């Protein structure tokens, strides 16, 4: 079977070595290695850590193909195999012995007088102030006003991103089979002057979060961060964060189990 594979690697020495070995092995097994990314490749191999994985999916605009990660980074939560497992990987892939884990994404639409910009995150979207001052945001859920948030910002995590920044903020770890969004406050203020939810809240996939910067407070613009990529905005009219239809398809092998992976990476 002549399948077309594109390999994306970061430039660490370990990644370069792994890429070279993988190319030789795939070549020897009759696969075609694409010299440049092509949207109709059969498989994207990503060599690096989670950061490299996120970089690849953004660079190639959320590829509509299975992706396999080889971990040469630090944590490697998305990454399925280690560089020592290349032969097993090629054997299992050739035999069709794998499953696809579908990961959902989160989208943010930012409306300004210049139009609407849209960004998609696999881990999360963050809304925060550009200055060191606290930010005040009026939040609605499904069109109903819920709270005036005060603090550093809000992080809206996908289940896949629940183990990343969300977890450091005290958010919950969510099984990726659940189709939800988790809204986690970043340093919420809770005093007689300001009142905000201090825990995460969970939203079903058909409810969106509306955010309007509070007109009464002085603000120096808003930063929107998605998977570590930042865009600054001034004079935002409205922000909407919702569940996105775009999915990322991760190749997983026989022993993959989300909770076993969580245990091995966190405990």
**Residues in touch with Mn ion (CB under 5 A):** 49, 51
**Calpha distance 154→242 (Å, rounded):** 14
Q: Tokens 């993988």 belong to which residue?
A: 22
Please provide the distance, in angstroms rounded to a whole number, between the alpha carbons at the two ends of the chain: 41
Phi and psi at residue 83, to the nearest 5°: -60, -20
Least distance between ligand NAP and beta carbon 200 (Å): 14
Query: Catalytic pick from 50, 175, 206, 257?
Result: 50
210 contacts ligand NAP (rule: CB under 6 A): no
- How far are the Cα atoms of 23, 152, 189, 209, 254 from residue 134, in angstroms, in the given order? 50, 5, 9, 20, 47
Choice between 31 and 226, CB closer to ligand NAP: 226
Residue with the closest Cβ to Mn ion? Answer: 51
124 contacts ligand NAP (rule: CB under 6 A): yes
Q: Is 214 a catalytic residue?
A: no
From the list 244, 239, 205, 210, the residue with the least C-alpha distance to 225 is 239
From the list 89, 104, 103, 106, the residue with the least C-alpha distance to 43 is 89
Choice between 51 and 221, CB closer to Mn ion: 51
Least distance between ligand NAP and beta carbon 74 (Å): 3
Least distance between Mn ion and beta carbon 167 (Å): 15
The residues, ordered by sequence, that sit 6+ positions from 205 with a Cβ below 8 Å of its Cβ are 104, 179, 180, 181, 243
Restricting to residues 11-50, name those near ligand NAP by CB under 6 A.
Answer: 49-50
125 contacts ligand NAP (rule: CB under 6 A): no
Catalytic residues: 50
Which parts of this chain interact with ligand NAP (CB under 6 A)? 49-51, 54, 73-77, 123-124, 160-161, 163-165, 168, 227-228
């Amino acid at each position: 079977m002549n399948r077309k594979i594109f390999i994306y690697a970061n430039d660490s020495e370990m990644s370069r070595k792994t890429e070279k070995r993988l190319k030789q092995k795939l070549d020897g097994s009759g696969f075609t290695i694409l010299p440049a990314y092509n949207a109709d490749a059969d498989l994207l191999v990503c060599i690096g850590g989670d950061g490299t994985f996120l970089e690849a999916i953004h660079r190639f605009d959320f590829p509509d193909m299975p992706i396999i990660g080889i971990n040469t980074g630090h944590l490697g939560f998305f990454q399925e195999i280690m560089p020592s497992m290349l032969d097993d990987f090629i054997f299992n892939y050739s035999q069709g012995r794998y499953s696809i884990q579908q990961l959902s994404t989160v989208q943010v639409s930012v409306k300004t007088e210049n139009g609407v910009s849209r960004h998609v995150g696999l881990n999360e979207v963050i809304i925060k102030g550009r200055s060191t001052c606290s930010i005040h945001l009026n939040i609605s859920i499904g069109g109903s006003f819920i709270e005036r948030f005060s603090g550093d910002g809000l992080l809206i995590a996908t289940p896949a991103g629940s183990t990343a920044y969300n977890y450091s903020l005290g958010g919950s770890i969510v099984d990726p089979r659940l189709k939800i969004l988790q809204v986690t406050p970043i340093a919420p203020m809770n005093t007689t002057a300001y009142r905000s939810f201090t825990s995460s809240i969970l939203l079903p996939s058909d409810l969106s979060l509306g955010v309007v910067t509070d007109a009464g407070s002085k603000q120096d613009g808003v930063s929107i961060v998605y998977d570590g990529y930042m865009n600054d905005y001034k004079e935002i009219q409205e922000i909407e964060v919702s569940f996105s239809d775009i999915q990322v398809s991760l190749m997983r092998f026989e022993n993959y189990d989300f909770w076993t992976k969580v245990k091995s990476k966190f405990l």
